[in-house]
Structure 1
Amino acid sequence: MLAAALVLAAGGSRRLAQPKQLLDWQGRPLLEGVVGAVARWPVAGVVVVLGAHAEEILDRVDFGGATVVLNPEWEEGLAASLRVGLDLLSRHPRYEAAFVALGDQPEIPAEVPSALLGAAEETGRPAVVPRYRYQRGNPALVARRLWARLMSLEGDAGAGSLWRAHPAWVHEVRFDHPAPVDIDTPADFQKLLRRP
């Protein structure tokens, strides 16, 4: 199964009072660390969706070989970024699935993407998600046949709302890791920095 990765990084970081994409994470911008990690996943391409602070982010982040696309409607919420990113990926018929990742989660365990891909190939389910100890998390691996459904979401609804409505579509892969920290507040970032 040939997959691409979609990194959603268009948010305005309202609760942080600064672009979280540019927070200093291990000596480089947080988003640069995320994109670098995602590029090592079993993917044939990486697309990053930017919105708020795009000019500053483009000036300071090394995206490597990733394709960057701008979401002019980023204020509409996560669903708008899904539409922009999946629209771009859908123009490439070779991609059979896409990992949907968040640009503020730099600590996805290295084995997760390969395990999700293997489970998708084994089960044939169109959505494969990680379960970290007691909760679902990211990235989700979504088969092309569900992309139109994801593109129909609105507002800040992510894929989780679709998975709750159609549980038979979803296969969970369990991992004995804490859920990756999602950086929304200064306290979240401090929690990330304190992790061993």
Structure 2
Amino acid sequence: MKTGAVLVAAGLSSRMKSFKPMLQLAGSTVIKTAIETLKSAGVSPIIVVTGREAEVLQRHISPLGVETVYNEHFATTDMFYSARLGMKKIKNRCDRFFFLPADVPLFAKNSLFAMMGYFDYAHCSLLLPRYKGQLGHPVLIKETLIDEILTYQGDMGLKGALDNLQTEKEVLDLADAGLVMDADHPEDYQKLKNYAALMSLEDPLSFDLDIVFRRKEPFFNLETAFLLKQIEKVNSLRQACLNMNISYSKGWRLLKAAESQLGFPLLISRTGGVKGGESSLTEEGKSFLEDYIQFFLQIEKKTEEAFHRFFAENFEIKLKDASELE
């Protein structure tokens, strides 16, 4: 599934006095930091809506391979006007896209991956990230909603357009303070700098979770589950292995090890035909995979909560202490 992004950087920055996208941040700038994080998660195309200081901004970000669209009415229009310009530019070029103001730069790459993964699993059309009860950015939007968003005629801007959509709005809780930090006011910018400085001193603390089923020996884990999901998607064990960058022989061994311990086949293979052999999951395989995924998601949620309680709070205390030094 192809994921793009629309960043709005056309505002006057009247509350900050300085042009927010070009503010210095941890050896880079606010807008470059946001773009580089999006690119690190494989997001493309990236559309930046410009307005004030458009030529300067375009020169600044052009080496990053992004596209720009100019809001010539930036001085008299709101963010929703700019958002619509960006959405028109990205329409029909991706399956979904992140939307964010350019002054929200410190969201984590892992948050983008978490949102994309949840978006796929829950079949979302609109997904909003939340941190400690506060909604943040970027928002992830299905491309097919663009036409409906563009027709909104209310006076509540982008929020009104999203609230007006005839689709369910999903919310994903994430342990990422960067989702709700912007450079709207001078004091907000100072908090951004403090947070970025802490992030540059050490990588943010994170964890990897895997759930391994075993009898005498381990036989099923997240890698095997991913392989089954790929087979379900492409109907080919060989193509699924290519997509996961593992050898065909390794994929075959993973499946056979699981089948021998589970006591039922996971795969139906058909040979021959114009397109060559095909593979699909058995009914038992589909049921087992779904149960594993649901089990994993429940454990992951509880683990995220525990991780935040035991570790992330300490990190935020450091941030609070740093902000009080100013």
TM (normalized to structure 1)?
Answer: 0.88
Cα distance change on mapping 1:129 and 1:29 into 2, 3 Å: same
Q: Which position in structure 2 is the counterpart of 1:76?
A: 77
Q: Distance in 1 between matches of 2:72 and 2:156?
A: 15
Q: 1 or 2, which has the higher helix percentage?
A: 2
SS of equivalent residue, structure 1 residue 111 = helix
8 Å contact 1:83–1:151 — kept in the other structure? Answer: yes
Q: Which position in structure 2 is the counterpart of 1:43?
A: 43
1:91-106 pair list within 5 angstroms: 91-92=92-93, 95-106=94-105
Q: Distance in 1 between matches of 2:60 and 2:3?
A: 27
1:9-158 pair list within 5 angstroms: 9-74=9-74, 75-92=76-93, 95-153=94-152, 157-158=157-158
- Residue correspondences, number: 193
8 Å contact 1:29–1:60 — kept in the other structure? Answer: no
Cα distance change on mapping 1:152 and 1:34 into 2, 3 Å: same
Cα distance change on mapping 1:167 and 1:145 into 2, 3 Å: closer
SS of equivalent residue, structure 2 residue 144 = helix
Q: Distance in 1 between matches of 2:65 and 2:139?
A: 22
8 Å contact 1:131–1:173 — kept in the other structure? Answer: yes
SS of equivalent residue, structure 1 residue 104 = coil
The letter for the 1-side match of 2:103 is: D
Cα distance change on mapping 1:104 and 1:112 into 2, 3 Å: same
Task: Identify which of structures 1 and 2 has the higher relative contact order when contacts are C-alpha pairs closer than 8 Å and 6+ apart.
Answer: 1
8 Å contact 1:42–1:114 — kept in the other structure? Answer: no
8 Å contact 1:132–1:177 — kept in the other structure? Answer: yes
Residue ranges of structure 1 left out of the alignment (5+ in a row): none
Identity %: 22
Q: Distance in 2 between matches of 1:78 and 1:175?
A: 25
The CA deviation at 1:100 is 0.5
Q: 1 or 2, which has the higher strand percentage?
A: 1
1:158-177 pair list within 5 angstroms: 158=158, 160-166=159-165, 169-177=168-176
Cα distance change on mapping 1:184 and 1:123 into 2, 3 Å: same
The letter for the 2-side match of 1:112 is: S
The CA deviation at 1:184 is 1.1
Cα distance change on mapping 1:137 and 1:104 into 2, 3 Å: same
Superposed structure 1 runs of 4+ greater than 6 Å apart = none
The CA deviation at 1:54 is 0.9
Cα distance change on mapping 1:8 and 1:125 into 2, 3 Å: same
Q: Distance in 2 between matches of 1:165 and 1:126?
A: 13
8 Å contact 2:148–2:165 — kept in the other structure? Answer: no
TM (normalized to structure 2)?
Answer: 0.55
8 Å contact 1:78–1:156 — kept in the other structure? Answer: no
8 Å contact 1:82–1:151 — kept in the other structure? Answer: no
Cα distance change on mapping 1:73 and 1:153 into 2, 3 Å: farther
CA RMSD of superposed structures (Å): 2.0
